[in-house]
Chain A
Amino acid sequence: MITFEDVTKRFPDGTVAVDHLDLEIPTGRTTVLVGPSGCGKTTSLRMINRMVELTSGTVAIDGDDVRTREPAVLRRSIGYVIQQAGLFPHRTVLDNIATVPFLLGWDKRKARERAGELMELVGLEPGQARRYPHQLSGGQQQRVGVARALAADPPVLLMDEPFSAVDPVVRASLQEELIRLQDELQKTIVFVTHDIEEAVKIGDAIAVFRPGGRLAQFDVPERLLAEPVDEFVEGFIGYDRGVRRLSFFPARTLSLRSDVVVDAGTSAEKARSVARDAAEPWLLVVDPDKRPLGWVSAETLEGAAGDRELGSLALVGYGHIFVVATDSLRAALDASVLSPAGRAIGVDTDGTVVGVVSQADLGAAIWSAGDAAVPVGGRD
């Protein structure tokens, strides 16, 4: 556990970056410090490894005051990842990763062996070991940065906006990779970002800072989105916090209708009666493997010759789908909003259709989710 006890940082020019901060960062979890620029989140992070010296108060790791440790020695026991990776341009990827083991005086071969293992862990090709940082893409450099931070297997990992300099697609994959790594490694991660979306995605707990270096709220993401303590936090989280909160409710709780799913070989005649029985304006047409082909409207069916097969009619593209077992209510809602039929298609992990859910039924599910104080888990 990392504890901040009444910590204040005042810079020589008089500005107070961190103001009487009390915070307990749990061991083995990911804690995100988030807030607008100038809120003291990075300063707080850097006080943990003494890159910034605090003015008053105490920062302790597992009860040991960090100021009792020699800075260079302390830092070798704490992983650190920064925005632009900060790789050493004159060292190969392998030797960059082996930096801290080298500093700790490990045998060179053992250090490089360990670096090789880490390359695999963070998803780098072995062929990149002898390359230099400038020969890598931004995303790959960031992976090297993470591998370097983990090389000496430190219990604590500090990450200062590590993914904000890469494009959104790469960022998303790095975030997922981090979540996967953390499931495996269970490090005490302190992660700084200004992006609440990122905080909600990767954080087990989120500390929201307000300008002037004060802690506004410290909570699990679900509760932060449900119950922001004041207007500042609410404003910072954003106007669509309600929608985003749905990320924490699993889609598997939805009741899907399968009576409106029809095979491509069905005749228009038969489909008409299905639509009438279900009182639904849209039917989902699937192929013999139960994969979605498209929507057909009751209107189209009325105008079609009775013996025509549905597969030969003009179908409306089915748009987005969601995976019932793993996606959240948010993904289901998104799929229904984007669907030309106003209905979301739920599929199994193998892509076969489970059923569809209308926006009205989704609304009911969202309504009951809103009542649940603590969500059942699951995220998108």
Chain B
Amino acid sequence: MTEAPPVDWGWIQRQLDGVIADRLLEHLYLSFPPILLGLLVALPLGIASARWRPVYPPVLSGANMLYAIPSIALFYLLAPYTGLTPWTAIIPLALYTLAILVPNVVDGLNQVPDHVRQAAAAMGFGPLRRLLQVELPAAIPVVAAGLRVASVATISMVSVASVVGLGGLGQLILTEGFQRQFPTPIIAGILLSVLLAFLTDGALVLLQRWLTPWTRGRRAEAGRASRRARASSAPAREEEAVP
């Protein structure tokens, strides 16, 4: 290992259609469903928390407590019920996104100015219509900012799922790399993981711009500030990635 070049390009070429592609696809399968599922759960929780104030503290504490459970423990806890199916990874990862997404949905709805809400009611929007046509659209920038953090965090955490044998790029790092004392898959796994996170983030930025044409040219976005605050207050989970 000491004399070999750090990256074996031949291996990468040979495995591009093989183990690398397989693991990358697994990684995608394991990261996107939790993000979507998390958003689907966070929306109603966030809407309820914004509408009925007393609901919010227990919901937020619950989401934060879930976030504090080490992922590896959750994977092992779920394994007896879900076995080696993707659900063993999808369920915990979806739960983790709640700690980021729920506050963003709540903040997004709360930052809709009161006069806008009042005007909507006075124009004759019923409560549901007002939520769907005024409040949620106006909350999109803040929700999207949370979604970006949650996506990157999830893509990074999927690697831990490999420890329990669920596949993904973590498996590339662990099985092909560490266990065989072979650095190339480790480097490839890390780079691909970062690249995937980067591309997903970029795609979300484009999606948000397309969904919210009114925020173009308005750079000092409330959502950005909120996202930064969220990202710095939530503890980084990356240290778990090394078992």
Interface contact B123-A80, CB-CB below 8 Å: yes
Does A51 contact B122, Cβ atoms closer than 8 Å?
A: yes
* Chain A proximity of B217: nearest CB distance (Å): 8
> Which residues on B sit within 8 Å (CB–CB) of A236?
none
Enumerate chain A residues within 8 angstroms of B89, measured Cβ to Cβ. Answer: none
Any chain B CB within 8 A of the CB of A87? yes
In angstroms, how far is the closest chain A Cβ from the Cβ of B106? 18
CB distance from A102 to the nearest CB of B (A): 9
Q: Is A57 among interface residues, defined by CB-CB distance under 8 A?
A: no
In Å, the complex CA distance between A99 and B134 comes to 11
* Cβ of B142 under 8 Å from chain A: no
A324 on interface, CB distance cutoff 8 Å: no
Bound together, the chains give a CA A134 to CA B116 distance in angstroms of: 13
Produce 1/0 per residue, B121-161, CB < 8 A to A. 11111100100001001101000000000000000000000
Q: List the A side residues contacting B124 at CB < 8 Å.
A: 72-76, 100, 103
Nearest chain A residue, comparing its CB with the CB of B117: A86
Residues A89 and B116 in contact, CB atoms below 8 Å apart: yes
Q: In the complex, are the beta carbons of B120 and A80 less than 8 A apart? A: no
Are A86 and B115 in touch, CB under 8 angstroms?
yes
A225 to chain B, nearest CB (A): 32
Query: In the assembled complex, which residues on chain A have CB atoms less than 8 Å from the CB atom of B123?
Result: 75-76, 80, 99-100, 103, 148
Cα(A89)–Cα(B212), bound, Å: 10
| B interface footprint on A133-174 (CB within 8 Å = 1, 0 otherwise) | 011000000000100100000000010000000000000000
Known: A80-B123, A103-B124, A134-B214. A90 touches B115 (CB 8 A): no
Docked Cα-Cα span, A21 to B129, in Å, equals 34
CA distance A271 to B123 in the complex (A): 67
| B138: A residues at CB distance < 8 A | 88-90
CB < 8 Å neighbour of A134 from B118, B120, B212, B218: B218
**Residues 199-239 of B contacting A (Cβ, < 8 Å):** 212-214, 217-218
Minimum Cβ distance to chain B for residue A133 (Å): 8
Number of interface residues of B (CB under 8 A): 22
Complex: chain A residue closest to B121, CB-CB: A51
The chain A residue with its CB closest to the CB of B214 is A132
Q: What separation, in Å, do the CA atoms of A145 and B126 have in the docked complex?
A: 20
Determine whether B73 belongs to the interface, using a CB cutoff of 8 Å to chain A: no
Residues in A whose Cβ lies below 8 Å from that of B116:
86-89
The yes or no answer to B5 lying at the interface (CB within 8 A) is no
Count how many pairs of residues, one from A and one from B, have CB atoms less than 8 Å apart in the complex: 67
Query: Quick one: which of B124, B137, B214, B217 has the most chain A CB within 10 A?
Result: B124
Using known A-B contacts A90-B214, A103-B125, A134-B214, determine if residue A82 contacts B118 with beta carbons closer than 8 Å.
yes
Q: Is B113 an interface residue (CB 8 A)?
A: yes
A210-262, CB < 8 A from B: none
State the Cβ distance, B219 to closest chain A Cβ, in Å.
12
* A84, CB-defined interface residue at 8 Å: yes
**A85 interfacial contact with B, CB 8 Å:** yes
Q: Does A175 contact B (CB under 8 A)?
A: no
Q: Which residue of A is nearest B134, CB measured? A: A88
Q: Is B4 an interface residue (CB 8 A)?
A: no
Q: Is the CB of A86 within 8 A of B118?
A: yes
> What's the minimum C-beta distance from B1 to chain A, rounded to whole angstroms?
57
B242 at the interface (CB under 8 A from A): no
In the complex, which residue of chain B has the Cβ closest to the Cβ of A92? B214
Residues from chain A with a CB closer than 8 A to the CB of B212 are 90
**Which B residues touch A58, using CB under 8 A?**
none
Most A CB within 10 A of own CB, among B116, B129, B140, B218 = B116
A351 to chain B, nearest CB (A): 43
Q: Which of B115, B120, B126, B214 contacts A84 (CB 8 A)?
A: B115
Can you list, as one digit per residue, whether each of B162-185 has a CB less than 8 Å from chain A (1) or not (0)? 000000000000000000000000
Task: Report how far A85 CA is from B212 CA in the complex, Å.
Answer: 21
Determine how close the nearest CB of chain B comes to the CB of A196; give it in whole angstroms.
24
* Sample of 19 further A-B pairs with CB below 8 A, known A82-B118, A86-B115, A90-B137: A51-B121, A72-B125, A75-B122, A75-B124, A80-B122, A80-B123, A84-B115, A85-B115, A86-B116, A86-B118, A86-B120, A88-B116, A88-B138, A89-B138, A90-B214, A100-B123, A103-B125, A134-B214, A134-B218
Q: Which 6 A-B pairs have the closest CB atoms?
A: A86-B119, A76-B124, A80-B122, A75-B124, A86-B115, A132-B214
A/B interface sample: 9 pairs, CB < 8 A: A76-B124, A87-B116, A88-B138, A89-B138, A90-B138, A90-B214, A132-B214, A135-B217, A148-B123
